[in-house]
């Protein structure tokens, strides 16, 4: 009979033998989460309807025709190019719901006017007279080609669903027609988006609407998510004085004959993509829109005092004046520090990271005794030391984190003091001439 063996929880074994546990050495698991995640509702000519869809930066460059209906360089994707300059992942929702374009041979995969630019070309196969080459074109771009003997053999592609009941016949190009973008979008569609996006994690939410009713909806959503649900993100809105650290009030419009709020794309991107130890103050606008920056010095000062995120001209460049949000009602408990987006990013990083740490490692797993609380304290201290290492906070001391048991045996109370580092913005210099 073999000797005893295996692992042990307590030292209560009966048989002689070796009982060995293998455990990982203690290490910090409160890693700093990455930024660069944005969410936006859009009115589109093509694309997925009724659900949130995810687009990575690389996918946007390579698959934009399939996803949004236009090639990467198309004028209609100018705003999205501005957005993806600074984000890694976008979560999008198509607000409008229209009619699919169709013809004798196929129906567009999605509704929208872009479907009217699709056509089906059918020609005899040069090698086999009994076969047909069936091509799908979007504009002048061939996106699919299949060789078949009958319509029933055709497989749907990324742009059309073929009608198997149709009779196959030669055509130099039969266009799909009747595609529409649907009726005007209302607050109901925006509310549906907000209901769906609540399940996703992102750093910044952007809204292109110029309607006070719609932007007000986003302000209330942002306040509820940050204050009641504990989900920390910021929302970029056009000319909306939210008076809240979670709302960025973009003041600039664009000079072109497009949505005046089009700069929301870029500001959403730079806000989502800005690292926790950086500021967007003085950042050069590298997008494609012509931004209206015709402001006097007094107007720029008033914009800062009014909590407006504004771009201005510096030499040949257009730059961010200062990286602030819409919060202006300063109090002793909540001072002007909370109007600086760099401060908000650091505090949001701490809130999100510690919540993930607690929920994944400690909640329901670790006893609420002295040893358990010391373990949590160690992880939080290591997390803050990482923030200090990248100069997001300064002068941090381990004793700044105090953990104790709450009124309930299952509750843990944390007192956490941090000093947020902000980027230099003003220089006051006195030069003594001797």
Give the pLDDT confidence of 107-156 residue by residue, as tens digits. Answer: 999 999 999 999 999 999 999 999 999 999 999 999 999 999 999 999 99
The more confident residue out of 265 and 229 is 265
Q: Is the pLDDT of residue 1 over 50?
A: no
**CA atoms of 377 and 356, how far apart (whole Å):** 15
Q: Give me the residue spans of the domains in the chain.
A: 37-95+183-320, 100-175
What fold, for 37-95+183-320?
Dna Ligase; domain 1 (3.30.1490)
SS3 at position 373: helix
With bands split at pLDDT 50, 70 and 90, how would you rate the model's confidence at 76?
very high
> Cα–Cα distance between 137 and 124 in angstroms, integer?
17
Residues 6+ apart with CB under 8 A from 67: 47, 53, 55, 59, 60
Q: Is the dihedral of CA 61, 318, 222, 354 positive or negative?
A: positive
The residue among 186, 181, 161 whose CA lies nearest residue 47 is 181
pLDDT digits (tens, 9 = 90+) for 172-202: 999 999 999 999 999 999 999 999 999 999 9
Mean pLDDT, residues 381-391? 93
- What letter would DSSP give residue 425? -
Q: How far apart are CA 220 and CA 312, in angstroms?
A: 29
Cα dihedral 172, 176, 177, 180 sign: negative
Cβ atoms within 10 Å, residue 351 = 14
pLDDT in tens, 296-305: 999 999 999 9
Measure the CA dihedral 182/186/190/191, to 10°: -120
pTM, two decimals, is 0.89
pLDDT (0 to 100) of residue 117: 98
CATH assignment of 100-175, given 3.40.50.300, 1.20.1250.20, 2.60.40.4290, 3.40.50.720?
2.60.40.4290
**Residue 212, H or E segment:** helix 212-223
Residue 331 DSSP symbol: -
């Amino acid at each position: 009979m073999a000797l005893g063996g295996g692992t042990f929880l307590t030292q209560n074994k009966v048989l002689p033998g070796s009982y060995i546990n293998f455990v990982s050495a203690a290490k910090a698991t409160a890693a700093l989460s990455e930024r660069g995640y944005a969410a936006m509702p859009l009115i589109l000519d093509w694309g997925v309807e009724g659900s949130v869809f995810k687009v990575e930066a690389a996918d946007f460059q390579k698959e934009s025709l399939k996803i949004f209906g236009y090639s990467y360089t198309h004028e209609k994707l100018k705003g999205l190019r501005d957005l993806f300059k600074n984000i890694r992942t976008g979560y999008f929702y198509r607000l409008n719901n229209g009619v699919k374009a169709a013809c004798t041979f196929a129906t567009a995969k999605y509704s929208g006017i872009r479907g009217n630019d699709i056509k089906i070309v059918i020609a005899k196969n040069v090698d086999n007279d009994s076969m047909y080459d069936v091509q799908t074109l979007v504009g002048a771009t061939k996106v699919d080609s299949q060789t078949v003997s009958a319509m029933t053999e055709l497989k749907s592609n990324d742009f059309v669903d073929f009608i198997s009941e149709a009779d196959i016949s030669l055509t130099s190009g039969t266009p799909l027609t009747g595609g529409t973008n649907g009726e005007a979008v209302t607050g109901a569609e925006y509310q549906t988006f907000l209901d769906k996006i609540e399940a996703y994690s992102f750093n910044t939410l952007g809204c292109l609407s110029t309607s006070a009713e719609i932007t007000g909806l986003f302000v209330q959503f942002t306040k509820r998510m940050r204050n009641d649900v504990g989900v920390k993100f910021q929302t970029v809105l056009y000319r909306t004085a939210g008076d809240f650290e979670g709302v960025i009030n973009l003041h600039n419009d664009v000079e072109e004959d497009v949505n005046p709020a089009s700069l929301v794309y870029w500001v959403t991107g730079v806000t989502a993509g800005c690292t926790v130890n950086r500021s967007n103050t003085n950042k050069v606008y590298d997008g494609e829109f012509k931004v209206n920056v015709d402001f006097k010095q007094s107007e720029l000062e008033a914009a800062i005092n009014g909590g407006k995120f504004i771009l201005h001209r510096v030499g040949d460049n257009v730059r961010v004046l200062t990286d602030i949000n819409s919060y202006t009602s300063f109090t002793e408990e909540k001072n002007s520090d909370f109007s600086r987006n760099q401060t908000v990013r650091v505090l949001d990083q701490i809130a999100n990271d510690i919540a993930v740490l607690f929920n994944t490692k400690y909640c329901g797993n670790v006893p609420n005794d002295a040893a358990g609380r010391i373990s949590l304290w160690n992880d939080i201290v290591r997390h803050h030391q990482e923030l200090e290492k990248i100069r997001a906070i300064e002068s941090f001391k381990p004793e700044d984190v105090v953990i104790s048991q709450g009124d309930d045996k299952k509750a843990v109370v944390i007192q956490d003091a941090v000093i947020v580092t902000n980027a230099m913005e003003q220089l006051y210099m006195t030069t003594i001439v001797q």
